[in-house]
Amino acid sequence: MEQVLNYINGTLLPAVGGGWLDDHAPATGAVHAHIADSDERDVELAVQAATKALPAWKALGTQGRSDLIMRVADLMERDLEALAKAESIDNGKPIALARRMDIPRAISNFRFFAGAVLHWNSDAHLMDDVAINYTDRQPVGVAGCISPWNLPLYLFTWKIAPALAAGCCVVAKPSEITPYTAFLLSRLCIEAGLPPGVLNIVHGLGPKVGAAITAHPGVPAISFTGGTRTGAEIARVAAPMFKKLSLELGGKNPVVIFDDCDFEEMLTSVLRSSFTNQGQICLCSSRILVQRGIYERFKQAFVERVKAMRVGDPADPTTDLGAVVSEAHMTKVLGHIALAREEGGTVLCGGERVLLDGPLRNGWYIAPTVIEGLGPECRTNQDEIFGPVVTLQPFTDDAEALALANSTSYGLASVLWTSNVKRAHRMARDLHSGIVWVNCWLVRDLRTPFGGMKQSGVGREGGHEALRFFTEAKNVCIRL
């Protein structure tokens, strides 16, 4: 069986403690690899290697670092198909999605930040005849990057690429549920000639490996994407150590549909924003708010289209929804559907596990589910479900739409569908969310600030925001 090894100081290694964890394929439920079950000893080795590598990595300069990061991206592109297959097996997502989105985006993350750092400039503040101030930005040091299972290589690289480009060395931990493509990346880094210790990847459980990275005094910055509860635990440990923190957490995103929208375009997009990756994207819209004038028309058309979606083998390129990521996650999502029924919701379609045949009979599949009849306060419309489950709620006017949209403790991404430009601007301004898409979804420009408000997180990633996070600003004031 394949072994997912740590990548520490340029070498692939088992965990110091010698233990292994199982890596499951959600499509079948079977174990397809064993993962190094690391702990604080492995993290210690990784931090030591990263600290040692730091001076030479900084001294290589922006162009030198950029060239090496580009080389890794080129190798990822060469191996795109193998990476896409691995991601689909490890995560359960449709192969077509991994080919079209996950792996191309992981490659873009490397290329984008390798380019961005070459075009970055610092500020100067001139004080007439008194002095010149300029902002010097040095890498923060060893950066800790902890990523989740929903977009494994995509989000892993979204963190490590800016950190490396900014001149940091990295100790990174992918999710123990989907570690495989990060392991393949470590092999490519060796092939690309990335100097030992510049990137270290430690596999294993969050409370062991993630917690050890968070608590390590030699890691002054932590970039984390994952659940809100884990984010709170990381903040609790890191804040008294005055670490820099970037936390990208959960969401309960609204899509607000006004009756003046382009109906067909909206319908196709809302299907995607509801069920892409089985609804396991922090940007997926899980609360669909529809103006009363088109509520019944939308409901009928939407449910019809959802019923036609194919839940099936992730390896089949025609599959719309693959498996959800784990048995525990499937149980959690099904529990939320049961709760929605208890709360008085009506399940318009889906609502149950899908049992497939043959080798897929033990896989973790859930039918895309649409629920109506629940108000904004119930748990179904408050808790992040993070699966193929959406609710419908009607509204009358802009004020009610806004109140419903802002009625959760999260604030990550909102979508507006309207042809009224003034309304779009007004709503975009007043929505409590870090990202607003108008008449589109998941259109991503990597230069834009990315992140959420309220319980969706702290800080912004993307473009210069990420480069700023991984550097310390120092004002240098020179008397004239």
Site for ligand TXE in 188-217 (CB under 6 A): 206-207, 210-211, 214
What phi, psi does 60 have (nearest 5°)?
-65, -25
Residue of 168, 189, 282, 284 marked catalytic: 282
Kindly list the distances between the CA atom of residue 251 and the CA atoms of 227, 282, 409, in Å, as whole numbers in the listed order: 9, 6, 9
Q: Does 277 bind ligand TXE (CB under 6 A)?
A: no
Q: Does 148 bind ligand TXE (CB under 6 A)?
A: yes
Q: Does 173 bind ligand TXE (CB under 6 A)?
A: yes
d(CA 181, CA 184): 5
Do 157 and 109 form a contact (C-beta atoms < 8 A)? yes
Give me the 376-405 binding string for ligand TXE, x by CB under 6 A, dash otherwise: --------x-x-------------------
- H helix and E strand count, the chain: 15, 25
Query: Alpha-carbon dihedral of residues 297, 303, 308, 314, nearest 10 degrees?
Result: 130
Q: Give which of 101, 465, 76 is closest to 248, Cα–Cα.
A: 465
Structure tokens at 111: 């290329």
Question: For ligand TXE, how many residues bind (rule: CB under 6 A)?
Answer: 25
Q: Does 249 bind ligand TXE (CB under 6 A)?
A: yes
Q: Does 234 bind ligand TXE (CB under 6 A)?
A: yes
Q: Does 4 bind ligand TXE (CB under 6 A)?
A: no
Q: Between 20 and 149, whose beta carbon lies closer to ligand TXE?
A: 149
Kindly list the distances between the CA atom of residue 455 and the CA atoms of 33, 258, 406, 458, 472, in Å, as whole numbers in the listed order: 34, 27, 12, 8, 26
Q: Does 286 bind ligand TXE (CB under 6 A)?
A: no
Residue of 40, 87, 176, 248 marked catalytic: 248
Q: Between 35 and 271, whose beta carbon lies closer to ligand TXE?
A: 35
List the end-to-end C-alpha distance of the chain, in Å, as a whole number.
67
Q: Does 230 bind ligand TXE (CB under 6 A)?
A: yes
Give the distance from CA 80 to its chain's centroid: 20
248 carries an active-site annotation: yes
Q: Which residues neighbour 417 within 8 Å (Cβ) at sequence distance 6 or greater?
A: 255, 256, 257, 258, 261, 262, 266, 269, 270, 438, 439
Structure tokens at 416: 């507006």
Q: Does 250 bind ligand TXE (CB under 6 A)?
A: yes
To the nearest whole angstrom, how small is the minimum distance from the Cβ of residue 293 to ligand TXE? 33
261 carries an active-site annotation: no
To the nearest whole angstrom, how small is the minimum distance from the Cβ of residue 102 to ligand TXE? 13
Kindly list the distances between the CA atom of residue 426 and the CA atoms of 420, 421, 422, in Å, as whole numbers in the listed order: 10, 9, 6
d(CA 380, CA 386): 11
Q: Between 176 and 313, whose beta carbon lies closer to ligand TXE?
A: 176
Q: Does 178 bind ligand TXE (CB under 6 A)?
A: no
Q: Between 150 and 391, whose beta carbon lies closer to ligand TXE?
A: 150
Q: Which range of residues in 53-61, 144-152, 195-203, 254-262 is near ligand TXE by CB under 6 A?
A: 144-152
Q: Between 147 and 269, whose beta carbon lies closer to ligand TXE?
A: 147
Q: Does 176 bind ligand TXE (CB under 6 A)?
A: yes
d(CA 471, CA 127): 25
d(CA 313, CA 363): 9
Site for ligand TXE in 118-137 (CB under 6 A): none
Q: Which of 23, 90, 248, 320 binds ligand TXE (CB under 6 A)?
A: 248
Parallel, antiparallel or unpaired: strands 11-13 and 6-8: antiparallel
To the nearest whole angstrom, how small is the minimum distance from the Cβ of residue 207 to ligand TXE? 5
Q: Which range of residues in 114-122, 226-234, 292-300, 301-309 is near ligand TXE by CB under 6 A?
A: 226-234
Binding site for ligand TXE (CB under 6 A): 146-150, 173, 175-176, 206-207, 210-211, 214, 225-227, 230, 233-234, 248-250, 282, 384, 386
Name the residues annotated as catalytic. Answer: 248, 282
